[in-house]
Amino acid sequence: MQASEATPQPCVSLITGAASGIGRRLAQDLFAAGHSLILVDRDLNGLQSLTEPFPGRFTLVQHDFAQDTGLDEHISAAIEEQGRLSGLIHVAGVSHVSPLKALSRADLERVMAINTFSAFDLVKHCSKPRHHRPGMSVVFVSSIYSLVGSAANSAYAMSKAALNSLARSLAIELAPRCLRFNCVAPGFIRTEMLDALAQRMGPDYLAELERLHPLGLGRAEDVSNAIQFLLSDRARWITGSVLSVDGGFTAQ
Amino acid sequence: MKNYLERMAELLEVDQVSADDVLEDFECWDSLTVLSIIAYLDEAFKVTVSAEQVCQCRTVGELHARYAGV
């Protein structure tokens, strides 16, 4: 066996929303597993604090999906630096709690731009053969609200349900090229985003959320574990799926 | 104040409101309306207000004075 055959090339994964919450935990786990990473977030300080222990194994891309342009060029340059992608994980997203009567078209378009159109732009660019390795696995972080209804969440639900459909369609379309597309649909997990929402909603909000999950609120590592499985060869025959990672929320 | 009253009328689902109107007297006064007001105050006045803070205001005018007045 040649030395080059015995030495596997490190996997390269691109994660959006990597500075905090699920994306940050996933980045930490993939670094620990030996991946090189391309990390995208509007919070450059957050990305820098994450990557300090891993010199050379990352490329940072500061990008705000709500307003910035030019992501394709930055991603191409990052792939040039780190290597072609084995994994693409779109975690970046915003919540938007607003009843219909307070929800404007502009609000809806903003939520869709960050949560959904960004995913479309990413896969369109990264699915070009020169940007990925054979068998690249793509994972979108969707939501329980892509599967069940919730008052005052129509914009968010629309944006996440669209990810499910995008994954299913691309799973069929790009199966001949051995690309896999899946979603994870997390329930409520303790992140900064949830804590900020809880502050607005009142002292009983978190307790009520806990009650709605048979296994209690989740943790970022729970979702990271599921994503890592879908990225791995163990999920080689899984595509077009939406994996509920929700402590039983949608089983009720 | 005029814009505020017009927007509050929309959120409270009536044709018009005045500053002296008592919030909890409106037929549609519920948790979703409170959420709508929170979203409106955030968008229009860049203030983050909790549901509890909204409910502590008795009238349309008091809400404006506390969180939307300049």
Question: What is the pLDDT, as a whole number, of residue A238?
Answer: 98
**Is B35 in CB contact (< 8 Å) with chain A?**
yes
Q: How far is B9 from chain A (nearest CA, A)?
A: 11
pLDDT in tens, A130-139: 999 999 999 9
At CB < 8 A and 24+ separation, what contacts does A109-117 make? A110/A66, A111/A155, A111/A156, A111/A158, A111/A159, A112/A155, A112/A158, A112/A159, A112/A162, A113/A65, A113/A66, A114/A65, A114/A66, A114/A159, A115/A156, A115/A159, A115/A160, A115/A163, A116/A159, A116/A160, A116/A162, A116/A163, A116/A166
| Most B CBs within 10 Å, among A96, A97, A98, to test the B interface | A98
- Please compute the mean of the pLDDT values over residues A181-193 and round it to a whole number: 92
Average pLDDT of the residues of chain A: 93
Question: What is the pLDDT, as a whole number, of residue A5?
Answer: 43
Question: What is the pLDDT, as a whole number, of residue B9?
Answer: 94
Task: Name the 3-class secondary structure at B45.
Answer: helix
Residues of B in contact with A203 (CB under 8 A): 52
Residue A102 has its nearest CB partner, among B40, B48, B49, at: B40
In this predicted model, which residue has the larger pLDDT, B24 or A2? B24
Place of tokens 């799926």: A241
What phi, psi does B35 have (nearest 5°)? -60, -40
Please tell me what DSSP assigns to residue B30. Answer: S
Judged against a pLDDT cut of 60, whether residue A98 lies above it is answered with: yes
**Is B45 in CB contact (< 8 Å) with chain A?**
no
Query: Are B51 and A97 a contacting pair at CB < 8 A?
Result: no
Question: What is the pLDDT, as a whole number, of residue B13?
Answer: 92
Residues of B in contact with A98 (CB under 8 A): 35-36, 39
Residues of B in contact with A99 (CB under 8 A): 32-33, 35-36, 39
Question: What is the pLDDT, as a whole number, of residue A196?
Answer: 78
| Closest to A214 in 3D by CA, of A247, A241, A191 | A247
**Is B33 in CB contact (< 8 Å) with chain A?**
yes
- Please compute the mean of the pLDDT values over residues A98-110 and round it to a whole number: 92
Question: What is the pLDDT, as a whole number, of residue A194?
Answer: 82
**Is A105 in CB contact (< 8 Å) with chain B?**
no
- Please compute the mean of the pLDDT values over residues A208-236 and round it to a whole number: 96
Distance CA A209, CA B66 (A): 30
Distance CA A99, CA A173 (A): 36
pLDDT in tens, A65-78: 988 889 999 999 99
Question: What is the pLDDT, as a whole number, of residue A4?
Answer: 42
Q: How far is B20 from chain A (nearest CA, A)?
A: 22
pLDDT in tens, B6-62: 999 999 999 999 999 999 999 999 989 998 999 889 888 989 898 889 999 999 999
Please tell me what DSSP assigns to residue B59. Answer: B
**Is A101 in CB contact (< 8 Å) with chain B?**
yes
**Is B27 in CB contact (< 8 Å) with chain A?**
no
Judged against a pLDDT cut of 70, whether residue A8 lies above it is answered with: no
Judged against a pLDDT cut of 90, whether residue A193 lies above it is answered with: no
- The winner for highest mean pLDDT among A208-212, A236-240, B65-69 is A236-240
Question: What is the pLDDT, as a whole number, of residue B42?
Answer: 87
Range from A95-104, A192-201, A242-251 carrying the lowest mean pLDDT:
A192-201
Query: Are A97 and B39 a contacting pair at CB < 8 A?
Result: yes
Contact residues, A window 140-179, toward B, CB-based 8 Å cutoff: 151-152
Residue B32 has its nearest CB partner, among A107, A152, A201, at: A152
Range from A200-209, A239-248, B55-64 carrying the lowest mean pLDDT:
A200-209
pLDDT in tens, A30-58: 999 999 999 999 999 999 999 988 888 99
Place of tokens 């869709």: A112
